[in-house]
Amino acid sequence: MIFVGTICAALWIIGWAMKAPIRQRQLMIGIVFAAVILGHIVLPLEHPVRVNTGGSWHIWALLAGFGGLILIYRTGLRQLRQRVRTTPATNDKHMSDTELDRYARHIVMPEIGGSGQMRLRGAKVLVIGAGGLGAPAMQYLAAAGVGTIGVIDDDVVDATNLQRQIIHRDADIGLAKVESAAQSIRALNPYVAVKTYQRRLEVDIAEVLISEYDIVLDGSDNFDTRYLVNKSCVIQKVPLVSGALSQWEGQVSVFDPNKSGPCYQCIFPEAPREEMSGTCAQAGVFSALPGVIGSLMAGEALKYLLDAGKPLRGRLAIFNILDAESRVILTKSSADCLICQSHLSA
């Protein structure tokens, strides 16, 4: 036994000196034990190996089993500790030390502070579309500590998405976008709850779903969905942050007619002709542009939740990344709007 113990100790020290991972060193010792047990089984009784290693394999099998139990116990304990460290205490009214460290750069800001961060912690934000705009918006919402993020999308990750939809990875190709986004959000911030809806937003669920959230970010790529989201938000009195992209230019605005300003349909009463509003696949889009507009959308949502600053309510911000030019256009409600005028007066 001294002979085998010496070999195991030597292997462990050599592995340590070579900076081999602990698991590799454990595997090497396991191989030694397996070789000794196998030698006792196949070699004759008088063989020097059996004589010098105790004469029986039973003692080695017992030691190996005991070591295996210790290893299993330590692995399980390590996983349990990891879960305790990373699982958010959703019912806790106070932030943990880990959360305080995570959000320290927010907490020191006078416009946010601890109370503001707690407000974000209890907030619920729905993101329509896990594509170019939804991807950066969700990442910053999660990083900021928004407690619950919902995402609805019926699409799957495609190779053509990866040029701009940075929440998805090459390994996610073929995976539902909502699942890919959820995995990225949880990896970024385990204190955020993610609700996924792998389907298209349609009339049968729009109002009910939107009513469950504090604010909606619309990054959809078609006017039918945009008009449906706008109408549902107006009816449910939920503010809407809407963004859009085209090649080198993007725009973002906040629509909250229940407080003031127009709704989306006041500004865009009719969908443009198809040849004038091509999709990203048809017209193309510069890779960094969704990051700029999506981040602005997240910023507007966070400002609303924190009641900080001046929102883009009644204003439409337009940014041209090719010429590095931005402008803000004032917008106003339309007396002929079939959505906000009829529902607000009802």
Catalytic residues: 280
DSSP 211-269: TTSSEEEE--SSHHHHHHHHHHHHHHT--EEEEEEEBTEEEEEEE-TTTSS--HHHH--
Q: Which residue in 70, 59, 72, 15 sits closest to 33, CA to CA?
A: 59
CA dist list (Å): 182 to 127, 139, 190, 201: 12, 10, 11, 18
Query: Phi and psi (nearest 5°) for 109?
Result: -80, 130
Q: Sign of the CA dihedral 334, 335, 341, 344?
A: positive
Cβ(257)–Cβ(234) under 8 Å?
Answer: yes
C-alpha dist (Å) from residue 224 to 141, 202, 228, 296, 344: 26, 9, 6, 23, 22
Q: What's the token pair of residue 330?
A: 């004032």
Give CA–CA dist 94/346, Å, rounded.
Answer: 41
As separate numbers, helices (DSSP H) first and strands (DSSP E) second, the chain gives: 15, 8
- What string of DSSP letters covers 140-201? HHHHHT-SEEEEE---B--GGGTTT-TTS-GGGTTSBHHHHHHHHHHHH-TTSEEEEE-S--
Q: How far is CA 147 from CA 88, 193, 197, 302, 330, in A?
A: 10, 6, 17, 12, 32
Residues 6+ away with beta carbon under 8 Å from 325? 319
